[in-house]
Structure 1
Amino acid sequence: MKVAFYTLGCKVNQYETQAIAEAFEKLGYEIVDFDKPADIYVINTCTVTNISDRKSRQAIKRAKRISPDSIVVVMGCYPQVYPQEVQKIEGVDIVVGTRNREKILEYVTEYLKQKKKIIDVNNEYKRDVFEELKVSSFNERTRAFIKIEEGCEQFCSYCIIPYARGSVVSRSLSSILEEVERLASNGYKEFVITGINISAYGKDLDYKVTLLDVVEEISKLEKVKRIRLSSLEPIVMKEDFIKRLVKIDKLCHHLHLSLQSGSDKILKLMNRHYTTEEYRQIVKMVRGYWDDVAFTTDIIVGFPGESDEDFESTVKFVEEIGFSRIHVFRFSPKKGTRAYDMPNQVSSAEKEKRSEILKGVAKQLSFNFHKRFEGKILEVLIEENSSFKGYIEGYSGNYIRTLVPKMESIRLNEIYKVKVRQVFDEYVIGDIII
């Protein structure tokens, strides 16, 4: 039988889809592209925004359009938060939330026999055990994702994820290291540490272990060449944490440090637990150790109550910090969050305007960051053939997309020294130093 997968959202979802795909493959299922006829379609959903929900519904309709008699499995955050809504969608046969993903194969077998809709959504916030989903490879990827924890207890006023993923549960250090060793033996060199809130790793464990312990232990493995952190909360970036972090030689000089707004008033409304001054000091401290560090971040524009002055504060702050990359999001009111019905909602037109302004600023900041490395040498993991004809590409340790001329002697999944000769806002071009 043929099975196809469609994944929306974050790196955690990508990790989970890969684990489930491997489980199907081990039982003899043939994995095909999502736009091909299949017997089973598994859609791993995201519900961060209303657009994510719409994309999930579109994927369900597409699957049924391609193969009307197929079994459609909808899993993940969307059915976890809105189970009744998903159950009512025509063509959905199996619904699984953000728990018991390892039972999907069992549910498919059951459905083939009974032909009755299966629903498995547990709405309890508290979780006790990390759900192990083991991975041995990542299709068409040279970077391996390592999921180390599940859940978030931040409850930012705009975010539905704590309700989708539940409380923090951490994976055991031994399990993490076993998976990294397995993937490293399969040829992976760079490992991306991911989770719903990796900054909270270890808080639920009986023995004292933190995110830093995880990174330090992974760095001791000989076959591991690079470690990258997916996203960090500013509240964890205390002086002692930073001093220990910067000593890890294999850690990429790239920190995705969530900001969301450059206005202290808006940060408070968002229930973010830091100020712009605290954020500023974190950046200053890290740059004192790593002068080539790339800071990337997320910004929400048009949050309820965001005035023109608040938005201008955000623009000035991101320019001051000098981010190498900014993901700009327009505020999307999610039912079930505190921000959903907050007063002083910003109009769609104004959100669009602010988004375009900030994207323009982000583009210039990216160019400015890349310009610093013109004529300098970057260490680049070559990952794939580029969409630019005659080039292959990859990322430097500080997350600069780097294109190099294609040559027979250059192999994918190898780290090369590249001298940068041309700079753009989205990428740089360089030559490999043989």
Structure 2
Amino acid sequence: MNEEQRLQAGVIKSSTEKLHPSVEKDYSKYFETVYTPPSLKEAKRRGKEKIEYHNDYQIEDRFLGMGTNRKFHIRTYGCQMNEHDTEVIAGILTSLGYESTDNVKEANVILMNTCAIRENAENRVFGELGHLKPLKLENPDLLIGVCGCMSQEESVVNKILKTYDQVDMIFGTHNIHRLPNILHEAYMSKEMVIEVWSKEGDIIENLPKVRHGNIKAWVNIMYGCDKFCTYCIVPYTRGKERSRRPEDIIQEVRHLAASGYKEIMLLGQNVNAYGKDFEDLDYRLGDLMDDLRTIDIPRIRFTTSHPRDFDDHLIEVLAKGGNLLDHIHLPVQSGSSEILKIMARKYSREHFLELVNKIKTAIPTVTLTTDIIVGFPNETDEQFEETLSLYKEVGFEMAYTYIYSPREGTPAAKMVDNIPMEVKKERLQRLNKLVNEMSAEAMKPYKGKTVKVLVEGESKRNPEVLAGYTEKSKLVNFKAPREMIGKIVNVKIIDTKSWSLDGEFIEVVEEEKVMS
């Protein structure tokens, strides 16, 4: 069904809402519309459109109270960026008068905030949409929405249009701030509302948020990615790199510190490319970290970094320590220069090892973790062995490991996926065996030592045990009064496992005693 047919059939709905300029241009012959599907062609473009910053976000009066006596439920898939987007979505819904619920049967609005980075993540979402159909039959007034990275894919939207008529609205990663308008359209019409901007919107500050807990907080410092690794869909689903202004980030972190948060995680698809897009300011991630380390908050981390943008100044600043933690997540993806070239990572094995050496020289106590893909097209047994040897040489203490999964629209998807699945699985098992062994070895020196633990809550396995993380992101389980939740405490380690530590509570650290 083409656009003309959709308009005539009523799938495209007239709207008085103002759309993004790129949308108006593409669909100008239909004037303004809320049928705004994603375009891979548009998403691949990297123009020089100026990004504007808006600090005056507010919900229109006509939408206030929309959610009175209504409840919402959000299911989140994927990375910390998606989790943070969910906090913003929840903030907007709460401002509209909705209440959150964990029970989908109570919900008046159900949103799936999706991840597109792997095929199995998409399949899970489609499976969940199928499970939600009976709820829609029971309650025709229920609104079901799909947002996040999957929404930015043409093939996904086409599949939903064809198969999942229980979905009422689809919106993308660039127009979350438009949620009140999208909900309004969904309530006013019985047709599916689709508003997905393929080109990036402006940077909207002061969006309301409902944060998960009051101990650790995510702070987005930039959006998008310009690296175009051949296997990755993110540059198309999240758009080009756009950095928030430093004064806005610093103000947000200061506010979180004043609110009692103990740890900040700075987020970006390629976080250490921060500031490269500034035309009026020579200010990069190292400068931001140098400013943030003066704020009275115990812990500051960042993720996810790309080796290409990990510059000497950033290393120099991180070496100052303090609240800048000596745990760095540094995705390598492969230990073979040949595979790295096919992946378009733009560094070699040798360059990566040189970077690691710089980091270790400047920060002798550093702990490094990574991401690795196995079974990439054309990966030989010898090249996979190079990945194992690099893992050992660097001395990584943990890794997120994946079997290569082709993503439609990426350059790698056009390559012949010539590694049999049984070979991919065997390589993953071998890699995971090494990862487990080295993690267990890295844990052993902790036995008998006292570590600082930020207590996050009860252990998932035993409510009588508390759990938290060290500065190096090691999970520690120990018994202590519940009043310790949210505090940084000293814990003596009495036993080590492959992925966690068991300890004995000693006391609240001195800084905590002073602050409390």
Q: Partner residue of 2:153?
A: 81
Of 243, 253, 256, the residue aligned with 2:326 is 253
Structure 1 residue 136 displacement after superposition: 4.8
Contact 1:156/1:271 (<8 A) preserved: yes
Of 233, 237, 243, the residue aligned with 2:306 is 233
Q: Deviations over 1:131-172 (max 9, x none)?
A: 436355522463100011111110001111111111111111
- Residue identity opposite 2:471 in structure 1: G
Q: Partner residue of 1:150?
A: 223
Structure 2: 5+ residue stretches without partners: 1-69, 508-516
Q: Does 1:305 pair with 2:374?
A: no
TM-score normalised by the chain length of structure 2: 0.80
Which residues of 2 match residues 126-205 of structure 1 at below 5 A?
127=200, 129-132=202-205, 134=207, 136-140=209-213, 142-205=215-278
Q: Deviations over 1:175-208 (max 9, x none)?
A: 2122222322332110000011112111112322
Using the alignment, how far apart are the partners of 1:90 and 1:179 within structure 2? 40
Contact 2:285/2:314 (<8 A) preserved: no
Of 294, 298, 306, the residue aligned with 1:220 is 294
Other structure's SS at 1:327 match: strand
- Residue identity opposite 1:403 in structure 2: N
Q: Does 1:115 pair with 2:201?
A: no
- Total equivalences in the alignment: 430
Structure 1: 5+ residue stretches without partners: none
- Residue identity opposite 2:443 in structure 1: H
Contact 1:261/1:267 (<8 A) preserved: yes
Other structure's SS at 2:123 match: helix
- Residue identity opposite 1:382 in structure 2: V
Other structure's SS at 1:6 match: strand
Q: Deviations over 1:293-348 (max 9, x none)?
A: 22111000000010111111111111221111111100001111111131362111
Alpha carbons of structure 1 residues 212 and 220: separation in structure 2 relative to 1, 3 Å: same
Alpha carbons of structure 1 residues 212 and 128: separation in structure 2 relative to 1, 3 Å: farther
Q: Does 1:428 pair with 2:501?
A: yes
Other structure's SS at 2:484 match: coil
Structure 1 residue 393 displacement after superposition: 0.7
Using the alignment, how far apart are the partners of 1:30 and 1:307 within structure 2? 53
Other structure's SS at 2:203 match: coil
Which residues of 2 match residues 13-412 of structure 1 at below 5 A?
13-33=82-102, 35-68=104-137, 69=140, 70-82=142-154, 83-88=157-162, 89-124=164-199, 127=200, 129-132=202-205, 134=207, 136-140=209-213, 142-206=215-279, 207-222=281-296, 224-343=297-416, 345-389=418-462, 390-408=464-482, 410-412=483-485
Alpha carbons of structure 1 residues 267 and 357: separation in structure 2 relative to 1, 3 Å: same
Using the alignment, how far apart are the partners of 2:212 and 2:313 within structure 1? 38
Using the alignment, how far apart are the partners of 1:74 and 1:411 within structure 2? 38
TM-score normalised by the chain length of structure 1: 0.94
4+ residue segments displaced more than 4 Å: none
- Residue identity opposite 1:165 in structure 2: R
Structure 1 residue 398 displacement after superposition: 0.7
- Residue identity opposite 2:102 in structure 1: D
Using the alignment, how far apart are the partners of 1:379 and 1:291 within structure 2? 19
- Identity among equivalent pairs (%): 31
Structure 1 residue 40 displacement after superposition: 0.5
Using the alignment, how far apart are the partners of 1:378 and 1:5 within structure 2? 36
Contact 1:37/1:67 (<8 A) preserved: no
After superposition, the CA RMSD in angstroms is 1.8
- Residue identity opposite 1:228 in structure 2: R
Other structure's SS at 1:152 match: coil
Using the alignment, how far apart are the partners of 2:135 and 2:213 within structure 1? 24
Contact 1:34/1:63 (<8 A) preserved: no
Structure 1 residue 26 displacement after superposition: 2.0
Using the alignment, how far apart are the partners of 1:184 and 1:137 within structure 2? 16
Contact 1:136/1:179 (<8 A) preserved: no
Other structure's SS at 2:264 match: strand
When Rg is computed on C-alpha atoms for both structures, the one with the higher figure is 2
